[in-house]
Structure 1
Amino acid sequence: MSNEKIITILISSLVLSASVLASENTIDQQGMLATSGGFDGPTQNDTLNTVEDVMNADWLVDGNKVTLIGHITMSLGHEQYTFADKTGNMTIKIDDDEWDGQDVTPSDKVKIVGEIEKNDSANAVDVDWIRILNKR
Structure 2
Amino acid sequence: MKKIIFSLTLLFSLVVGYSLNAVADYVGASSFPTLKTVVDVIKNGKDDQLAVLNGYIIKKVGNEKYIFKDSTGEIRIEIDKKRMPTQSFDEKTKVEITGEVEKEFLHSVEIDVDSIKFIKN
Same fold (TM over 0.5): yes
Q: Using CA pairs below 8 Å that are at least 6 residues apart, which structure has the higher relative contact order?
A: 2
Residue among 87, 97, 100 paired with 2:85: 100
Deviation readout 1:102-128 (Å, 9 max, x if unpaired):
212100000000001113242110000
List gaps (5 residues or longer) in structure 1: 1-10, 12-42
Q: Give the equivalent residue in structure 2 for 1:33.
A: none
Q: Which residue of 2 aligns with 1:123?
A: 109
Evaluate the alpha carbon distance shift between residue 46 and residue 102 of structure 1 in structure 2; reply closer, same or farther with a 3 A threshold: farther
> 1:116·1:124 contact (CA, 8 Å) conserved in 2?
yes
**Secondary structure of the corresponding residue to residue 134 of structure 1:** coil
- In the alignment, is the contact (CA less than 8 A) between 2:97 and 2:116 conserved in 1? yes
The answer (yes or no) to whether the contact 1:46–1:67 under 8 Å persists in 2 is no
For residues 26-65 of structure 1, the C-alpha deviation after alignment (integer angstroms, 9 at most, x for no partner) is xxxxxxxxxxxxxxxxx996441000000111x612x111
Find the counterpart in structure 2 of residue 5 from structure 1: none
1:68 has 2:53 as partner = yes
2:39 to 45, 52, 57: 52
Runs of 4+ in structure 1 displaced over 6 angstroms?
Answer: none
Instruction: Report the Cα distance in structure 2 between the residues aligned to 1:132 and 1:99, rounded to whole angstroms.
Output: 12
Number of residue pairs aligned between Structure 1 and Structure 2: 99
Q: State the TM-score, normalized to the length of structure 1.
A: 0.62
Give the alignment's TM-score, normalised by structure 2: 0.69
More helix by share: 1
**What is the alpha-carbon distance in structure 2 between the residues aligned to residue 88 and residue 82 of structure 1?**
10
Aligned mates of 2:59, 2:33 — CA distance in 1: 26
Q: Greater CA radius of gyration, 1 or 2? A: 1
Does 2:106 match 1:109?
Answer: no
Task: State the 1:71 CA deviation.
Answer: 0.2
Q: Secondary structure at the match of 1:52?
A: helix
The 5 A counterparts of 1:28-39 are: none
The RMSD of aligned alpha carbons is 2.8
